[in-house]
């Protein structure tokens, strides 16, 4: 299992992501955004969290023009698995690999805390280790996590089981921290090989540090 | 020539900053304000006098980078 992790100027979760996947037994490689190719043996490409290009203009907007992103699009179009976490999710929506956009949080504050999520659709490699309706406890840390799609696209997301996770409380009742439409925390593309979510599974790897629910999520990619 | 581009959230997309500012104006007793929308302005200095070309290029810039048309509208003014 080889995980390649993208690094833009301003990315700051690449080493956490690397640590998380190596703990699970993967080999990893950090790929600088100026590269025009991604390693040929890549099994999973992760667009890690952070603040690429200082979030200038819009979160993720400038990163989409980095040289490596052309290779990322080709990799995804050929069925390669791509996971965008937090700023990585924003980059993937800006690039058009995932539907929708991430707006400023409704409360206008940066939110950094553990939050419960409910698994909505596990018929994909990312969440197949979990059951629909399972609740996981995963940290969120974002200013622009307010997911928005227009009505038609939202309907498509439901019809194609593209909604991965929603924000809830510990009992699975809707609890929306940032104003996301239908409390959506993560989605995938129609082909189910590109995944994006605002919460940070790579920060939930040790029970001692609050939660190890991230293990079950990232493990899905090891099949 | 200059291009002045105003970018704002689409009608129907909740503008949280606008809402917060509206609330603040309310508490200052400016009761005539019925809605607040907050956007951003991008000003480009263009080395051309060709308005048609300028408009078509700036439109492309908006579509490809300056605005996210999933959530934002843009207006271009050439002066």
Which class is A2-222 in CATH?
alpha beta
Residue of B nearest to A98 (CA): B70
Residue of B nearest to A99 (CA): B70
CA distance to partner chain A, nearest, from residue B16 (Å): 5
Q: Give yes or no for a contact between A145 and A168, defined as CB atoms under 8 angstroms apart.
A: no
Question: Residue A223's pLDDT is what?
Answer: 80
Residues A103, B8: Cα–Cα separation, whole Å: 12
- Specify which residues A27 forms β-bridges with: A2
Q: Do A93 and B70 make contact, defined as CB atoms within 8 angstroms?
A: yes
Among A58, A146, A150, beta carbon nearest to B68: A58
> With b meaning 16 or more CB within 10 Å and e meaning fewer, what string describes A161-185?
bbbbbbbbeeeeeebbbbbbbebbb
First-to-last CA distance in chain A?
9
Among B14, B16, B68, beta carbon nearest to A61: B68
Question: Residue B42's pLDDT is what?
Answer: 98
Global pTM value: 0.94
Best probe of the B interface among A61, A103, A157, by most B CBs < 10 A, is A103
Structure tokens at A132: 């629909």
State the catalytic residues of A.
Answer: 86, 200, 202
Q: How would you write the pLDDT of chain A (223 residues) with one tens digit per residue?
A: 999 999 999 999 999 999 999 999 999 999 999 999 999 999 999 999 999 999 999 999 999 999 999 999 999 999 999 999 999 999 999 999 999 999 999 999 999 999 999 999 999 999 999 999 999 999 999 999 999 999 999 999 999 999 999 999 999 999 999 999 999 999 999 999 999 999 999 999 999 999 999 999 999 999 8
Residues A80, A97: Cα–Cα separation, whole Å: 12
Structure tokens at A36: 């025009």
Question: Residue A195's pLDDT is what?
Answer: 98
Structure tokens at B45: 């200095």
B59 φ, ψ to 5°? -60, -45
Structure tokens at A152: 């038609």
State the alpha helices, DSSP H only, in A106-150. Answer: none
What's the CATH fold of domain B2-78? Mth169; Chain: A , (3.30.1280)
Sorted by where each begins, the domain ranges of chain A are 2-222
| Residue tagged 């969290």 (tokens) | A49
Question: Residue B12's pLDDT is what?
Answer: 87
Q: Give yes or no for a contact between B73 and B10, defined as CB atoms under 8 angstroms apart.
A: yes
Q: Do A148 and B16 make contact, defined as CB atoms within 8 angstroms?
A: no
Residue of B nearest to A106 (CA): B16
């Amino acid at each position: 299992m080889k995980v390649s992790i993208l690094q833009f100027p301003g990315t700051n979760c690449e080493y956490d992501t690397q640590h998380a996947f190596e703990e699970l037994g993967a080999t990893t490689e950090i790929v600088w955004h100026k590269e025009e190719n991604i390693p040929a043996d890549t099994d999973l490409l992760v667009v890690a969290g952070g603040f690429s290009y200082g979030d200038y203009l819009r979160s993720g907007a400038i990163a989409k023009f980095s040289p490596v992103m052309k290779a990322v699009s080709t990799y995804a179009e050929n069925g390669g698995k791509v996971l965008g976490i937090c700023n990585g999710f924003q980059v993937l929506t800006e690039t058009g690999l995932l539907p929708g956009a991430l707006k400023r949080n409704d409360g206008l504050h940066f939110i950094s805390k553990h939050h419960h999520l409910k698994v909505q659709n596990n018929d994909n490699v990312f969440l197949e280790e979990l059951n629909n309706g399972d609740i996981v406890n995963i940290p969120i840390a974002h200013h622009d996590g307010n997911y928005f799609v227009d009505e038609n696209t939202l309907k498509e997301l439901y019809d194609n089981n593209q909604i991965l996770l929603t924000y809830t409380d510990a009992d699975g009742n809707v609890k929306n921290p940032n104003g996301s439409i239908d409390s959506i925390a993560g989605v995938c593309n129609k082909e189910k090989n590109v995944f994006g979510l605002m919460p940070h599974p790579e920060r939930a790897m040790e029970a001692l540090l609050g939660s190890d629910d991230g293990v079950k999520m990232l493990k899905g990619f090891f099949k | 020539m200059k291009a002045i581009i105003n970018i704002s959230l689409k009608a129907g997309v909740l503008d949280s900053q606008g809402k917060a500012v509206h609330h603040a104006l309310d508490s200052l007793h400016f009761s005539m304000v019925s809605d607040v929308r907050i956007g951003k302005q991008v000003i480009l200095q263009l080395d051309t006098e060709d308005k048609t070309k300028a408009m078509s290029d700036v439109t492309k810039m908006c579509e490809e980078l300056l605005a996210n048309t999933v959530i934002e509208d843009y207006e271009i003014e050439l002066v």
